[in-house]
Structures are given as C-alpha cells and as structure tokens.
Amino acid sequence: MKELVNENIRNLIPYQVADLDYDVKLDANENPYHIPEILDGELKKELKEEIFKEFWNYYPDADATELREALAQKCGVAKENIIMGNGSDEIILNLMLTYLNGEKAVVIHPPTFSIYKIFAQVTNGKVKEVPLTEEFELDAEKMEAAAKESDSAITIITYPNNPTGNLFQEEAVEKIIKNAKGIVVIDEAYYEFAGKTFMDRIGKYKNLVILRTLSKAYGIAGLRVGYMVADVALVNEVNKVRLPYNLNKISQLVALKMVKNDDKFRPIIKEILEERDKMAVEVAKIEGLKMYKSDTNSIFFRTEKAEEIFAKMLENRILVRKFSGNMKDFIRISIGKKEDNMKVVEILKAVMQKQ
Ligand SMILES: *Cc1c(COP(=O)(O)O)cnc(C)c1O
C-alpha cells in the first residue's frame, strides 16, 4: 500500500516530539508557570465558571471575532488584518497551502524552526536554504538574493531565531521584506521576550506577514493559539485555506482572558529574562561550553559533551533539547523555575568538570 502514498509524504521525516520520562520539561520553550497560578484566584474562578457555561454542542465562533478584536487593539491593526490559528504551526501550513506548489519555493535560514521545511515538503513546495553564518547571524545578502528569485513565493525569517535565540539586524531584515519577490513571514514567536517587532510596518508592506503565538510567553501551549497579522488582501486569500472553526471554544475563551490580562504576565516575563541573564553568566563561566546570545526564553550553547549533558539531565529527570546532524554539538535549554535553573547549572558544571 505504501506506493499509494504521495512521494513527498513517503519521504518525509516527521516532526519528532521526545517521548521520555522526566519531571521538569525544559525542551520546548514553554512558560514554566501554569497560567491560572500567575493570574489571581478571581480570574481562575471566573474561567472555570465560563468554561462550563459554554454550550459545547454548538460550533465555536468561526472567526474568533472577540479574540481578534482584542489582539487587533494590542497590535494597533484592524481585526480584518488578523487570522487565528490552532497554534501558529497551523498558520505556517495554511500559508504554504496558499502560496507553494511544485514550482514555487520557500526560503529559510537553517538552523531554524524545523516545521517550516516539513510543511514545505507536505505541500510539495521547494525549499531554498540559506544557512546562517558561523556565529548564527543572517547571511543577509544571500538571503535577499534568494528572496528576490522569481520562484521564491515565501521567505521566512525567525525573529528572534529558534533554536539559536538571537535577533537579526533590523535594517537587513527590512531590506529583504522590501525587495522580496513573494511574501515575507516574520515569525515573532518570542516577541514578548525580545521586545522587537515589525508590526508597525504592516501598513507599509503588502507582502509582510507577522506570526505570533500564545504558546510561549502567554503560557497556553496546551490550548494551541497562534495568529498572523498581514494586509487585508493577503488575509482574505489565506482565509480560504483555513479550516472552518479551527479554534475551539475553550481556546478562544482562555486566550481572550490572557490577551485582556497581558499586563499580569509582565512580572513573569521579567523574571524569566532575569533568570536567563543569570544563567547565561553562570554557564559562560563553565569551561568547554560556548554560549550564544539569547533574546528568547532559552539558552543555547555548543559543547562536545552534548550527548553526555542530555543523558545526565535526564538522569536528574530534566528534559532539555538536543539536536542531530550538523547540530549534534548543540543544546538548547528553556528557562524554567528558579530552583530548576539552579539545578541545570549545577549539572552542567558537574558534567564539564569531570575529566
Ligand atoms: C514554538 C514556535 C512556534 C510554534 O508555536 P505554536 O503557536 O505553538 O504552534 C512557531 N515558531 C517558532 C519559531 C517557535 O519557536
């Protein structure tokens, strides 16, 4: 039966999520705090009541109007500029379904978020890879040249990048948006940590798409809520591809609470950033680890003992992210709760000091 499967799917290596035993999850850049615990008890109670007041036998609001209105206000755009996704992952797929085919390409800058390449293959698009430099900076000239080619329908810039954690030079990115042949997607999954955005240029560039998620800073990865912001004409095309009712009632309801209470996340974001900077200093002191600057809620480093570090962390019931292929010497660790971060530093020291 395998020969019935489309060739692009048959040859696909699926996105892998670790299936391991652990207590502390620091592998996927999630917020270490469960949201209702951050927000006050009143909100927790209110949420519970509202969730059970909802009629689950009816479909949700197909356009997530209230949520889009709240987000539009925060982003300084109109709700017509916004599409919600079941995670921003779903929007990446919808963008590719809208713009790619066998003749058209997506331009990406590895090492970056692996979903882009997987979905390009799913939608049978071509992939043009413009690797980051040795220090993981954007190779801006090559990226721009690739984005300018006539078959480059989508260019994706991850700002800041994942897994490396760094922002790229703003002027270089804007030049790519300006000169690209196709649409340019700026994936701002870590915007709340990095504080830098291209949102104010939505009105200026008709080919610009900003991707955001509530999975990272806003701590609802488990509810799958992401969104894109773009020119209305572009939004209308991508909306033809979106599944009806793609955002369920509970996700819409909780996401709305989170967006309306985004000020309550500020102390948490501040704590995570302080912890990250503290860890960066501690980890940089350890011999044999090369740290990279992070603008996200994770640290990223190079080491010849990546395999050993991963194993030792797991032995201590901590899951971190390791990579394979030409990234096998790298580790990414999400910033967790204070006590867990301290434990991470201790384990790193122990592994690296062992001869
Ligand atoms: C985590 C992440 C996403 C996925 O976000 P979801 O909204 O949970 O699908 C998208 N892009 C980047 C760069 C990420 O790190």
Candidate of 25, 114, 190, 215 to mutate for ligand 1, largest count of ligand atoms within 8 Å of Cβ: 215
Stronger pLDDT, 174 or 56, i.e. the higher one: 174
C-beta of 113 in contact with ligand 1 (< 6 A): yes
Q: Ligand 1: distance of its center to the CA of 165 in Å?
A: 13
pLDDT attached to residue 277? 97
Answer whether 246's CB lies under 8 Å from 85's CB. Answer: yes
Q: Does 44 score more than 90 pLDDT?
A: no
Q: Ligand 1: distance of its center to the CA of 179 in Å?
A: 26
Q: Does 355 score more than 80 pLDDT?
A: no
**pLDDT tens by residue, 203-228:** 999 999 999 999 999 999 999 999 99
Q: Ligand 1: distance of its center to the CA of 255 in Å?
A: 16
Answer whether 92's CB lies under 8 Å from 63's CB. Answer: no
The Cβ of residue 17 has, within 10 Å, a number of other Cβ atoms equal to 8
Q: Does 11 score more than 90 pLDDT?
A: no
Reduce the DSSP state of residue 129 to 3 states and report it: strand
**Mean pLDDT in residue range 142-151:** 98
Write the DSSP assignment of 296-319 as a string of letters. SSEEEEE-TTHHHHHHHHHHTTEE
pLDDT attached to residue 41? 79
pLDDT attached to residue 36? 53
**Closest alpha carbon to 66 in 50, 48, 52:** 50
Amino acid at 11: N
C-beta of 187 in contact with ligand 1 (< 6 A): yes
**pLDDT tens by residue, 225-283:** 999 999 999 999 999 999 999 999 999 999 999 999 999 899 999 999 999 999 999 99
